[in-house]
Structure 1
């Protein structure tokens, strides 16, 4: 009996296909020359090894082994080496890329895993807060949205401090589905990304110690208006006039609060454009109030067009420049757009 023929079959069955293939081929060369037995064993070893190698050649290119590589965190909890983990493992301040990228509006993410990435490396998203939903029966998507959407908007303004410094951003949130709820999961994770395929290369977290008193005062003054703007309804006024008018009323109250805060703010070297911005916002305030009482979508949109003519964007840009804050991009100054994203169970 040729010993390599036996070895070929054994190693192939132990999933050592490359060795099984080599031993089998050598055995087939030796057997006729030495008059030994074992040709059938050698053929079996070559066949099994070849089949395993062929299957590996087909399967391996489509398997993402990174999902088995956990991220590495420093003692402070910051991610220092990329790795894959579940949605439930995300912490506030983590930068990551959802599996399959950020979802399209109204669709869930693909799979329940994300790749955590150090925030100074290109990434698609950043988690900025989490909170627990109230106990009780599963509230459904509408119930979760009613709680998560405004809460995530407010928390982002606290986290970023100056959302306009990063251009156009879009907020999302992971939340438990019905099965996750039954398993005891109640946590909502708020995260932000650029719309489309654009990446972030820095953290959007703000640091108050990097800002002076005037910068902080200005950002606090415009925060009510930015937060209310982030809650613009997803549905058009033609689809849901009641929600649109309610939002307009919210915008009117927020704009009035911002106007008063700007009047009280001490903004050295930016007094003149601040006064001009206040005047513009005061001129636009009645249109918000009228939009809140609009009888139909056409009237509502007409008032919004008047609001846009009094948004004071040029004065806003001048104030930011005088205070040394980054200038917003040429895109609309509304900082956020909202989309919900449900979190499926982890894979």
Structure 2
């Protein structure tokens, strides 16, 4: 069960000849050099080294101006991702990224072999599990044949399924890129609907399985979304939580923050290669933040009224900058507005409210 390597980029196709004329391969024009800092900006931002990504991106934007070097899109991506990470690093669940594994078609011996053992394709929402084959050092993208052992969520476990959905595409296998474009945002939304208080767990990482080409041909159309701690760390409780364990004020506060957290969790990563994608996400963030402000104003949070008022004021002060970022005409303006948003993230007020309401405080 391995991830196929990403498709290699192809250069411009050589033009074909007109009727009756001979055809000769035409070499593609030599592109300007790729700016190394632009690549470094995107890579460091995706590796959660947001401050470095931001610095590299700013420098690269200047060096790639006017088409002197390639990589301006990568610089924009690095700057945007870094800014978003810095803005919400302590206020939202940290999605390091969404990892992908493909599921092979079931063999003749597929399915559960003994009690507690089955395949990832056969388990349901709320199930906790341990893979029968952990990712190896040589091939971290492999989970063997997808066999897992179901375990109680109250015992140490590697993963928890939080949702699944069918792909509606028909006909031929649509390809990994197309499935990823569908699964990434959908799994993100499902997780925010599933977990009552993801912030309480600190750093989490979401993953999903999807059918490979052989599985697709055999009729498998299901994407399975699951969550784990990064690396070899384990969970010892369900990330879903229990609403019965929360009092009304705690539930109201978490519900008020949900629009903002959901939009933040859906920030573009792989597809954030141009200003259009970045500004579209900023527009969604502006709408989500406005909704969170409205819900906080209506919330009844006894004992936390003062920090709640301060949080509302901070978020309201940041709203115009999200809106300006959504309308930014270029990367420089977008970055400037993102820096302004960061000054009004309300992180300290969120932590204070959680403390007063008796909600767990994640590690800073």
Do the two structures share a fold, i.e. TM-score over 0.5?
yes
C-alpha deviations, 1:281-319, integer Å up to 9, x for none?
111112211221223334323322222221101100111
Change (3 A) 1:258 1:71: farther
2:111/2:122 contact within 8 Å kept: no
1:207 paired to 2:253? no
Deviation at 1:275, TM superposition (A): 0.7
Bigger drift between 106-115 and 118-127 goes to 106-115
Query: CA offsets, 1:222-254, max 9 Å, x none?
Result: 0000001111111385x3322221111111110
Please list the CA deviations of residues 61-109 of structure 1 after superposition, one character each: whole Å capped at 9, or x if unmatched.
Answer: xxxxxx998564xxxxxxxxxx4422212211111233324999x9464
* Equivalent-residue separation in structure 2 for 1:142 and 1:148 (angstroms): 10
Distance 1:214 1:103, change over 3 A: farther
Paired residues in the alignment total 253
Q: Aligned-pair distance for 1:135?
A: 4.5
**Range that drifts further, 133-142 or 167-176:** 133-142
Alignment partner of 1:269: what SS?
coil
| Preserved contact between residue 279 and residue 328 of structure 2 (Cα < 8 Å) | yes
For residues 225 and 282 of structure 2, the distance between their equivalents in structure 1, rounded to whole angstroms, comes to 25
Rg (Cα) greater in structure: 1
Corresponding residue SS for 2:237: coil
- Equivalent in the alignment of 2:331: 297
Partner of 1:183: 218
1:317 aligns with 2:351: yes
Matches within 5 A, 1:64-83: 70=113, 72=115, 83=116
CA distance in 2 between counterparts of 1:200 and 1:326 reads 16
- Structure 1: how far apart are the matches of 2:361 and 2:216? 43
Counterpart position of 1:16: none
Show the 5 A alignment for 1:98-113: 98=131, 99-101=133-135, 107=141, 109-113=143-147
Aligned to 1:175, the other structure's residue is in SS state strand
Q: Distance in 2 between matches of 1:165 and 1:151?
A: 22
Mapping of residues 19-38 of structure 1, within 5 Å: none
From 258, 264, 283, the equivalent of 1:249 is 283
Q: Note if 1:85 corresponds to 2:111.
A: no
SS at match of 1:197: coil
Instruction: Please say if residues 130 and 149 of structure 2, whose CA atoms lie closer than 8 Å, have aligned partners that are also in contact.
Output: yes
1:158 and 1:187 mapped to 2: Cα distance? 19
Aligned equivalents of 2:208 and 2:122: distance in 1? 14
Q: Does 1:222 align with 2:222?
A: no
Q: CA deviation at 1:186?
A: 1.3
The offset of 1:190, in angstroms, is 0.9
5+ long unaligned stretches in structure 1: 1-66, 73-82, 331-347
Q: Does 1:94 align with 2:127?
A: yes
User: Could you tell me how far apart the structure 2 residues matched to 1:103 and 1:292 are?
Assistant: 41
Q: Which residue among 94, 105, 121 is the counterpart of 2:155? A: 121
> Which residue does the alignment assign to 1:195?
230
Other-structure match for 1:140:
175
> Helix, strand or coil for the counterpart of 1:263?
helix
Question: What is the root-mean-square deviation in Å for CA atoms of aligned residues?
Answer: 2.6
From the superposition, tell whether residues 227 and 192 of structure 1 become closer, same or farther in structure 2 (CA, over 3 Å).
Answer: same
Distance 1:69 1:180, change over 3 A: closer
Question: What is the CA-CA distance between 1:216 and the residue it aligns to?
Answer: 1.0
CA distance in 2, matches of 1:236, 1:145: 10
Question: Partner residue of 1:164?
Answer: 199
115-124 or 261-270, which moves further after superposition? 115-124
Q: Which residue of 2 aligns with 1:272?
A: 306
- Partners of 1:148 and 1:236 in 2: how far apart? 13
Say if 2:317 is the partner of 1:283.
yes
Structure 2 stretches lacking a partner, 5+ long? 1-109
TM-score (ref. length: structure 1): 0.67
